Chain A
Amino acid sequence: MVAYVLRRLLHTIPIVLVGSFITFVMVSASGDPLGDLKAKQPPVSQAILDAEAHRMRLDQPVLERYWHWLTGILSGDWGPSVKKIDIGAEIWPRLLVSVRLVVLAVLLALLLALVIGVVSAVKRYSAVDYLFTFVGFLLLSMPAFWFAILLKQQAINVNQATGTTLVYTVGDASIPPPTGFWPTVLDVLGHIVLPTIVLAMTSFAPWSRFVRSSMIEVQQSDYVRLARAKGLKRRTVLVRHALRTALVPLTTVVALDLAVLFSGAVITETVFQWRGMGSFLLTSVRDKDIYAVMAWLLLVSVIVVFFNLVADLLYAVLDRRIRLG
């Protein structure tokens, strides 16, 4: 297992290198990072423009810039920012914000997807199945931003009806923050509940469909029929035999979705004004902040590789027939 993990990690190095070089060239060619500075009013002097171009390494060939960036990363230097931010200091807290936003949502979505997917599969073509199918497709087809706005409005209505601000619509905490333990806890919960629901619902819908279809397929397999024929309890057959196998394809989907979510739930972060990875990417692209965009891309590629590896390892745990070596 350890050898497998190491080999997989070694395989990812050339992939990340090639990918990062291609993206570096593409991002570098996407526009002039100094465009806004050149239009600054009163106009900045040519000396300042030259100094900025030098600071941003724009006076170097792209290959040299890439090399400097790559070697800088190894020593913890993420490169110069157009907006003169410390990219390293900026991106880690943002990753934490995204993680905080995502973890609860994913747990909630997984729980719902498993329960509803299994019930739908077991009660196939029943009223319950049709209801869950309808809800699933409704959530699948509903744009996240629209759902978020609807949810916000309902939350505001609840607040106004109760005369108390129970749920908040922007940010991850009140400013100034409340004092005391319980007010702080309630404040945090009040801020996290809406984005969690939005993220959970948008993820739960496709996941529950995966669970349903996998469960239906597995239920029709020979070994499940054999288990039933042997007289095993229905619950045991479902949980120990069918669900375990049905979880394998879901693992892949969730692992890849997790990578996307950790890289920034852009819409949810925008609607609820959370300063996570998604808004970092948006800001960096808007500012044509090459190294900030590259930092995001590098981190995301590492996250994708990591979760792919996690998915592979989970296969072995969920399906004993799979041997990693």
Chain B
Amino acid sequence: MHSMNRRKISGVVAAALVLSACSGGAPEGGDTGNQVRGEANTVNAGTAKQGGTITYVLERNILDWNPLGADIGVATQLVADVYDPGAFTTLPDLKTIELNKDLLVSAEQTGTSPQTLVYKINPKAVWNDGTPITVADFDYVWRASNPKACPKCEPASTMGYDGISSLVGTDDGRTVTVTFDKPFGDWKSLFGPILPAHVAKKLGDDGTPEGLAKSFNDGFRYKDSFPDWSGGPYIFKSWTTNQAATLVPNPKWWGKPATLDSLVFRVITDTTQEVPALQNNEVQIINPDPQVDLLRNVQALGDVKYQLVSGLRKQMILPNLNNPAMQDPALRKALYTAFDVNQTIGKTVGQFSSDAKPLRNRIYVPQQPEYKDNLGTLGTGDVEKAKKILTDAGYKVDGGKLVDPKGAPVPALTMRYIQNNQILQTVCQLFSDTAKQLGVTIDVQTTDSIGATVTHQAGKDFDLFAMGWIGQTFVASQYSQAFMTKAGLNFGGYSSPVVDDLLTKALGATDESKAAEYLNGVDAQLTEDAYILPLYQVPDLLAYKANLVNVRANGTYYGPPYNGGEWGIAG
């Protein structure tokens, strides 16, 4: 099984199962006067004056600084945005994958047979010690992410890198030509970010696989320390674990100069403490999971602006096909058809986000041009249709209990959600109420460990799971892991030769429209098999002091710091 490239799947890395901690509550009606709306990629653009400090809240501590490592958490990436350059970035509109013009002059696919990429590095691009950014840095990432070159390296993903047959530098290493022996459609996800090869040497990379593994697994992890290098607008000044990272402008940065004196990433692990800290000006940007009360508090702040956008985080209901009770597609289809997603939204996220709408595609979101409604009757709340599906499949209702075609009563199903998530608790309760109309009993329970619950090892103790999912723009790579037979993200144990074939084609498709066609075919087949019911995009809240410019929501894995180098205080 292939692993996925970090950028493609990194949204799922560690955070794949992150569930929103939203709470139900009072209906919408807060003052939205300070809500910022506008074009996703340019909203809140402005000119910054020189100086000042901005503090951005991280909701998790950082234990591993390697942005390509298997242990990466979301917080690692948020900080890496401002010091570690990558080839491409996904913009807030969720559809534009933009070339990093500071790092690269161009990155193009110059051939398809064999697939060939040519990266032309910006001649001005240097690391903070003046060492030019060259093919060596690309080569290091390839070697560390390729199991053939480094079997003991622990990258978050090897996908794409394992299909590269050669990586050659020319023009003094400023042009990198990559050739594949296996086509890779999501090639823009590669080399995001790169790592400094000359630093890797200091960290143990002596050219041997062992040295490479040492530098990658341990060196770039910076246990009890922090990266002392930068190829971005900021460079580390200090890091105190559980407290904060302070970065200052990188003196060797060749791009548009950063205006701030310092940029602080402060760890605040209790969401409810973020708004008071913002109000007291101890922090200037927060990106918490929205809740009714929290949003109302933000709305009441006079000197704060906020954005509430729909990002790539989704909620869904996952069936566990490893359990016999859920193996009949007819039962799954009936349960999903009877469930009214629109009504559910009204009782959950719709209470604070009027933009929340049913998500009718498992792979794409409405902001992406490839999005189309593939769900058919699923999620429509058509109980009569659901009953007919069951009747046609041979089910009967006896004494209010559903009986399967063989005459055995359908057992009570266990539906789980992560504890303390009131939104998902409501979703589960509504789902249970709906199922009761079909004669199916659903026992709603919590779990304190999503990982332990959905893990591929023994002990899957759920039939249905209401869970969150961070989507990516590199969808072929991500969803091949979710839907391919026995793939890593395939928590429900789904298997379909049709889907496997379509995903294989999508992965190798160098034509983006063709890949989208295959993937929508996958989604349609999943509907046919009634595997996974998508619910809605989780609203993404970003609140910040009103005097900040160029700060904007980015509902992708890159998060708001995707343009942290441009952040500043209005001049």
Contact = CB atoms under 8 A, between A and B. Distances in A.
A92 to B, nearest CB: 14
B167 to A, nearest CB: 22
B243 A37 contact: no
Contact of A32 (B14, B267, B452): B452
A209 to B, nearest CB: 31
Nearest to B5: A42
Which range holds the interface residue count of chain B? 35 or more
A217 interface: no
Contacts of A279: 242, 269
A270 interface: yes
A48 interface: yes
B280 A41 contact: no
Interface in A26-40: 31-32, 35-40
Interface stretch (B271-279, B373-381, B394-402, B526-534): B271-279
Interface stretch (B112-120, B197-205, B322-330, B454-462): B454-462
B452 A176 contact: no
A80 interface: no
Contacts of B430: none
A84 interface: yes
B262 interface: yes
Interface of A, secondary structure class, is loop
Interface in B273-319: 273, 276-277, 279-283
A176 B243 CA distance: 11
A219 B26 CA distance: 55
Given A86-B224, A169-B273, A176-B262, A42 B9 contact: yes
B540 interface: no
A175 B224 contact: no
A228 to B, nearest CB: 53
A31 B451 CA distance: 11
Interface stretch (A11-19, A55-63, A151-159, A316-324): A151-159
A279 B268 CA distance: 12
B475 interface: no
Interface string B150-165: 0000101111000000
B287 to A, nearest CB: 16
B12 interface: yes
B17 interface: yes
Bin the interface of chain A by size: 35 or more
A20 interface: no
B452 A38 contact: yes
B270 A41 contact: no
B13 A41 contact: yes
Contact of B14 (A38, A40, A152): A40
Contacts of B448: 31, 286
A325 interface: no
Contact of A175 (B55, B223, B276, B451): B55
B449 A288 contact: yes
B451 A39 contact: yes
A42 B266 contact: no
B122 interface: no
B419 to A, nearest CB: 11
Interface of A: 31-32, 35-44, 48, 83-86, 89, 149, 152-153, 155-156, 159, 165, 168-171, 174-176, 270-273, 275, 279, 283, 286, 288
Given A32-B452, A171-B282, A175-B55, 13 more contacts: A35-B449, A38-B452, A39-B16, A39-B455, A41-B9, A83-B63, A169-B276, A169-B282, A170-B277, A176-B246, A273-B273, A279-B242, A288-B449
Interface of B: 1, 3-4, 9, 12-14, 16-17, 53, 55, 61, 63, 70, 154, 156-159, 223-224, 237, 240, 242-244, 246, 262, 264, 266-270, 273, 276-277, 279-283, 448-452, 454-457, 481, 488-489, 491
8 contacts: A40-B13, A42-B4, A85-B63, A149-B276, A156-B280, A169-B277, A271-B270, A279-B269
Q: List the 6 closest A-B pairs by CB distance, nearest first.
A: A35-B452, A39-B451, A43-B488, A36-B451, A42-B3, A38-B455
